[in-house]
Chains A and B, each alone.
Chain A
Amino acid sequence: MTREMMSVWWAQIRAVVRLEMRKTFFAKRGLWIYLVAALPVLIFMAYAVATASEQNHRMSVVRQGEKRLTYQDLLAVKSGMTQEEVIAILGKPPIRFHWTDRRPTGDGTTGPGSTVEVSHENYHYSDGQNDLFVGLVNGEVESINIQEGSNPGQDSIMFAEVFQFFFLRLAIFFGCLGIFMNLFRGEILDRSLHFYFLAPIRREVLMAGKFLTGLLATCVIFVTSEVLQTVAFLWHFTPGARDVYLYHNHGLEHAAVYVGVTVLACVGYGAFFLVAGMMFRNPILPAAAILLWEWINPFLPAVLKQFSVIYYLKSLCPVDIPSPPGMSPVVALLVSNSDPVSAPVAVLGILIVACIALYASSLQVRRMEINYTTE
């Protein structure tokens, strides 16, 4: 393999990428991929709007309050306290609901069906970050409910859930399916693949050019989505909270890792769908098979797990998703990463899996014939 040969191949790869880029980005049959990529961004934007509105309401509660409260003040209220004791600690409630109802006496001193009037009060306090709802019955505290406001640390678990269960397993998966499967299959359907096959270009070089195009397209689409998700996710926090999360609580590091995982997912799934697009006329069957394989990965024996993309991607995700108590063991296995591998092994694993798929593609592309009538 001479230097001159390499430079010709590289020039040919660039020519393929130039030709394919516009088709890949602006194909009508690929518009849905943008929608899938935009969906988590929209979810986080909606969440940010809802949280910002909650925060505004909370601040108005603070402004109406008599005292400037702290979280410790909110925790000081205990069940059984009297109305006066509560007001002594927290001041007059900024928001108060009052109503009465009648309850059966049930003590045997009065006749059957007799009732007694009960006075109910609900107080709403806030320290600006968290809400306290106190329920009083006849002047005594009966229920206490503290609703903690959102904070980046806690919301990062929600972000991880959306990333792992929607973005990685569905959005990127189907996005790669749409783009990589069409690189060859789309041209066969358009009956234009012969244009490439009539050029003095090695089929493997053509395949490499097309793979690179798919990779560039998916990376641009999904990395942009990932960055926008992070922006939308952090949008509603105060600059101080954002800084603390980004620079002191590994937020920036996590964001960078998510971008890296996104790129690796595009590499892994892209390689899988490239070969599938060459081997199968109907993309539904291989897509369903790969999707199933990826979802049942936690239940597979250790050896088989390694031939999957999600196995390595899960190991690379920076935030572990805790299993909520009471979750069934099957679902818990899906959520947790019971058998993680180290980051270098995970990166290497994905690259090896992708190389195996690309090798299969290179064999397949050499065997391909132009026979549109049978497609």
Chain B
Amino acid sequence: MSDRIVFADVSKFYGEILGVNRVNLSIPPGITSLVGPNGSGKTTLMNLMTGLVKPSRGRVQVLDYRTDDPENLFRILGYSTQFDAFPKGLTGFQFIYSYLRLSGRDAQTAEQMAWRVIERVNLVDAAKRNIAGYSKGMRQRIRLAQALAHDPKVLVLDEPLNGLDPLARSEMIALFRASAAQGCYVIISSHILHEVDVISDQVILLSNGYVVAEGQISTVRGEIQDHPTQILIRCSRPRELAAKMLEEELTIEVSIHKDERGLLLKTRDTDRFYLALNELAMNGIDIESVAPADDDVLSVYEYLIGNEEAVR
């Protein structure tokens, strides 16, 4: 029994246009974010994962299910797409109810489940209104409700926070976290990097159809050799600490904070740097805090892909 979402050498071409190429991934439970500029292949990866498009080459498997077996796949998977169109003439409730009836559930169960999920996305008041009259945020919520309606083990969410107000965003983030805490697989694509940074257990960075990096953010950051790691230290004698680090060639750039209580250092060898820092601490420099300054998605994204598409 597989406990991963696996992409094995997957490529997808739309005619001559590349969607994604030679993707190998093994996604564990938790919140995984797909990050990349427009056209990098995020939605293609999600559509491949849900069987909406077929791979030109390779194999995608979601836990124990093949993606060409929707009857079983969508019993454990919910997908909130970016497609902003709905079957005509349906109210929010009918949309969810019909989806659950399509799953083969009886009328009573479908009705109960529909109201429960509508309540979960805070859309009860608008549930009896036609979706055509919904705002962008409400349409986003009803799509989320569709994805969540059958309590899936795998949640695939394409830009799920788009169009939501700050309160709704935090509600949704809490909802994703709760799902992940229960052992679910939550796959999110987003442009909003600081939100991705806050909620993700791991990231997959995409650029031009290729996976540039994957894993936990700190691990990915550690693997980027081109850019020195930035470390922020609050301490009693920052100038002395800076001098020692420069003397031992453990830092390539130092800037002292104007309050003379902190400094920002750049190092290419974090392991040796931290060993030296421990020695200095034992030799009398009072260190209040040590924190990596670029160990986040935004920095990783900037280093690997560039920042032109990032929304800070």
Contact = CB atoms under 8 A, between A and B. Distances in A.
Given A23-B88, A190-B88, A201 B71 contact: yes
A190 B75 CA distance: 26
Contacts of B104: 8-9, 11-12, 15, 200-201
Interface in A192-213: 192, 194-203, 205
Nearest to A16: B102
Nearest to A195: B87
A215 B103 CA distance: 23
Main secondary structure of the interface of B (DSSP, over half): loop
Given A19-B87, A198-B74, A369-B54, A12 B102 contact: yes
Contacts, number: 89
Q: How large is the interface on B (under 10, 10 to 19, 20 to 34, 35 or more residues)?
A: 20 to 34
9 residue pairs, one from A and one from B, having the closest CB atoms: A200-B74, A191-B85, A15-B101, A8-B104, A199-B102, A370-B52, A369-B53, A202-B71, A200-B75
Contacts of A198: 50, 52, 74, 78-79, 81, 99, 146
Interface in B102-135: 102-104, 106
A374 B14 CA distance: 9
Interface in A222-276: none
B83 A191 contact: yes
A11 B71 CA distance: 14
* Interface-centre pick from A190, A191, A200, A374 (highest chain B CB count, 10 A): A200
9 contacts: A9-B104, A191-B85, A192-B85, A192-B86, A200-B73, A200-B75, A200-B102, A200-B150, A205-B71
Contacts of A19: 87, 98, 102
Nearest to B71: A202
B292 interface: no
Contacts of B86: 192, 195
Contacts of A369: 47, 52-54
Contacts of A96: none
Contacts of B98: 15, 18-19
Contacts of A196: 102
B146 A18 contact: no
Contact of A194 (B54, B81, B106): B81
A192 B146 contact: no
Q: How large is the interface on A (under 10, 10 to 19, 20 to 34, 35 or more residues)?
A: 20 to 34
A372 interface: yes
A198 B81 CA distance: 10
Given A194-B81, A370-B52, A200 B101 contact: no
A14 B191 CA distance: 40
Interface string B43-67: 0000100111110000000000000
A98 to B, nearest CB: 70
Contacts of B78: 198
Contacts of A202: 70-71
Interface string B70-96: 111111001101010111110000000
A371 B53 CA distance: 8
Contacts of A366: 68
A15 B104 CA distance: 8
A201 B88 contact: no
Nearest to A12: B104
Main secondary structure of the interface of A (DSSP, over half): helix
A63 interface: no
Interface string A159-193: 00000000000000000000000000000001110
Interface of B: 14-15, 47, 50-54, 68, 70-75, 78-79, 81, 83, 85-89, 98-99, 101-104, 106, 146, 150
Contact of B14 (A8, A203, A371): A371
A367 B104 CA distance: 23
A9 B15 CA distance: 35
Contacts of B106: 11
Interface in A1-21: 8-9, 11-12, 15-16, 18-19
A22 interface: yes
Contacts of A192: 83, 85-88
Contacts of B54: 367, 369
B82 to A, nearest CB: 10
B99 A201 contact: no
A192 B83 CA distance: 8
Nearest to A200: B74
Given A200-B74, A371-B53, 12 more contacts: A11-B106, A15-B104, A18-B101, A191-B85, A194-B81, A195-B99, A197-B51, A197-B70, A198-B52, A200-B73, A201-B103, A369-B54
Contacts of A8: 104
A371 B54 CA distance: 11
Contacts of A203: 70
Contacts of A11: 101, 104, 106
Contacts of B68: 366
A23 B87 contact: yes
B51 to A, nearest CB: 8
Nearest to A20: B87
B117 to A, nearest CB: 15
* Interface-centre pick from A8, A11, A199 (highest chain B CB count, 10 A): A199
A199 B50 contact: no
Given A199-B70, A366-B68, A15 B87 contact: no
Nearest to A26: B89
A307 to B, nearest CB: 30
A369 B12 CA distance: 12
* Interface-centre pick from A191, A196, A198, A205 (highest chain B CB count, 10 A): A198
B192 to A, nearest CB: 24
Contact of A23 (B14, B47, B89, B99): B89
* Interface-centre pick from B53, B71, B73, B98 (highest chain A CB count, 10 A): B71
B52 A194 contact: yes
